[in-house]
Copies of this chain bind each other. A is one copy, B any other.
């Protein structure tokens, strides 16, 4: 147990010579106190068999000497590497890119607040993603994972559940399940979008939903329907489209709607990128967005602020999402129950230039409105 000052002298001598000075180890702390490594370790890890006096002495000395345990040294015994894993799948549509920086900032903040780090990997396909997860689990690269873009029948969830590895969803599971999760209530936004348009006089509203493979799509769809129902408006099936995640998708869907005998006077998109496609379709049809046709998106992509008129949309706080997700995951890793780890938030409406009062035309004139009496 006596290690003396010998090592220390050597270290100090080496200091200027070659490498950085040797770290303060747990043995250095225990020697300085006349205790053993095990006592120091247990004192620092809140074991109950250490007296409060000793614990305080140890803490003070560790602090004074600047002792910080090496996470990968602890990992070998505890099995925990104190790291959160994130696998980013480079989607064909690049909708997630603008969010990434903020999302990472939130995750990183939440992680480092608890002494965790963030380990990330990327992949090009769903198959590669699963393989990456498999590798990271095998090599214990992370104690748990954050899953963004939750999908219906998600293979990642199946794998992580099978391997009994903690994870948390950004989004909700397709089945009302026990997964820890944080989600933005897209259905609230979609309903709010409808009611906003209705308040501007719109009665014929189209809806372009996002990718059907994602769990958010049914929710946003339901929110749109709910809004229409609450407003007492009928839903025109020809004015509801699914699975638009790119500008091109949105343009195609909108072009179709605008060529209907009675085209909608407003279109709500579940995804901003699709909304930008609506801009193109409108321009092609000779319609001025914000005057001849109203458009509302969802996501708050930066491109939306630069188009003319600026896109009214719902801003999602991705930084907050990241923070809360890492917090949830860490609590999960530490043993909290899944059902206690489910949080939500609501997106914030950005009322910009792409919505305006409905124009009087044969389809939406006050005379037509009168027709509602028939219902």
Contact = CB atoms under 8 A, between A and B. Distances in A.
A68 B100 CA distance: 32
- Size range of the interface on A? 35 or more
A207 B362 CA distance: 53
A319 to B, nearest CB: 9
Contacts of A109: 122
B117 A164 contact: no
Interface string A298-329: 00001100111000000000000000000000
Contacts of A97: 97-98, 100-101, 302
Q: Give 3 nearest A-B pairs by CB, closest first.
A: A72-B72, A108-B122, A97-B101
A120 B104 contact: yes
Contact of A139 (B68, B76, B101, B276): B68
A120 B119 CA distance: 6
Interface stretch (A88-96, A172-180, A220-228, A333-341): A88-96
Query: Within the oligomer, what is the number of copies of this chain?
Result: 2
A163 B119 CA distance: 23
Given A88-B105, A104-B120, A306-B307, 11 more contacts: A20-B164, A70-B76, A90-B105, A97-B101, A100-B101, A108-B120, A108-B122, A117-B136, A120-B120, A276-B306, A303-B306
A112 interface: yes
A218 to B, nearest CB: 27
Contacts of A105: 88, 90, 122
A331 to B, nearest CB: 20
Nearest to A76: B73
A106 to B, nearest CB: 9
A19 interface: yes
Contacts of A71: 72, 139, 141
Given A75-B72, A120-B118, A101 B96 contact: yes
